[in-house]
Amino acid sequence: MALHTPRTIKHSPHLPFGDRQDGPWYGRDILSVKQFTRSDLDYIFGVAAEMEEMVRRVGSFDLLKGKILANLFYEPSTRTSSSFTAAMERLGGSVIPINEVRYSSVSKGESLPDTIRTLEAYADVIVLRHPEVGSAELAAKYARKPIINAGDGIGEHPTQALLDLFTIQQEMGKINGLTVTMVGDLKYGRTVHSLARLLTLYDVRINYVSPDILRMPAHILEEVQAAGTPQAEYDSLFPVISESDVLYVTRVQKERFTDESEYEKVKDAYIITPETMQSAQEEMIVMHPLPRVGEISMEVDDDPRAAYFRQMEYGLYVRMALLAMVLGKS
Ligand code: NCD
Ligand 1 in reach of 193 Cβ (< 6 A) = no
Please tell me the predicted confidence (pLDDT) of residue 17.
36
Pocket perturbation via mutation, ligand 1, pick of 83, 156, 157 by most ligand atoms within 8 A of CB: 157
Half-sphere exposure of 215 toward its Cβ, with a 13 Å CA cutoff? 12
Ligand 1 in reach of 251 Cβ (< 6 A) = yes
Ligand 1 in reach of 287 Cβ (< 6 A) = no
User: For residue 185, which atom of ligand 1 is closest to its CA?
Assistant: 12
Ligand 1: centre distance to CA 115 (Å): 23
Please tell me the predicted confidence (pLDDT) of residue 107.
75
Per-residue pLDDT tens listing for the chain (330 residues): 444 444 456 654 444 433 446 788 999 999 999 999 999 999 999 999 999 999 999 999 999 999 999 999 999 999 999 999 999 999 999 999 998 777 677 777 889 999 999 999 999 999 999 999 999 999 999 999 999 999 999 999 999 999 999 999 999 999 999 999 999 999 999 999 999 999 999 999 999 999 999 999 999 999 999 999 999 999 999 999 999 999 999 999 999 999 999 999 999 899 999 999 999 999 999 999 999 999 999 999 999 999 999 999 999 999 999 999 999 988
Please tell me the predicted confidence (pLDDT) of residue 9.
61
Pocket perturbation via mutation, ligand 1, pick of 148, 160, 288 by most ligand atoms within 8 A of CB: 160
Ligand 1: centre distance to CA 157 (Å): 8
Ligand 1: centre distance to CA 189 (Å): 8
Q: 7-156+314-326: what CATH class?
A: alpha beta
Ligand 1 in reach of 151 Cβ (< 6 A) = yes
| Whole-number Å distance between alpha carbons of 324 and 250 | 29
Ligand 1: centre distance to CA 290 (Å): 6
With a CB cutoff of 8 Å and minimum separation 6, the contacts of 39 are none
User: For residue 253, which atom of ligand 1 is closest to its CA?
Assistant: 12
Ligand 1 in reach of 157 Cβ (< 6 A) = yes
CATH tag, 158-312: 3.40.50.1370
Domains 7-156+314-326 and 158-312 share a fold: yes
Domain regions of the chain by residue span? 7-156+314-326, 158-312
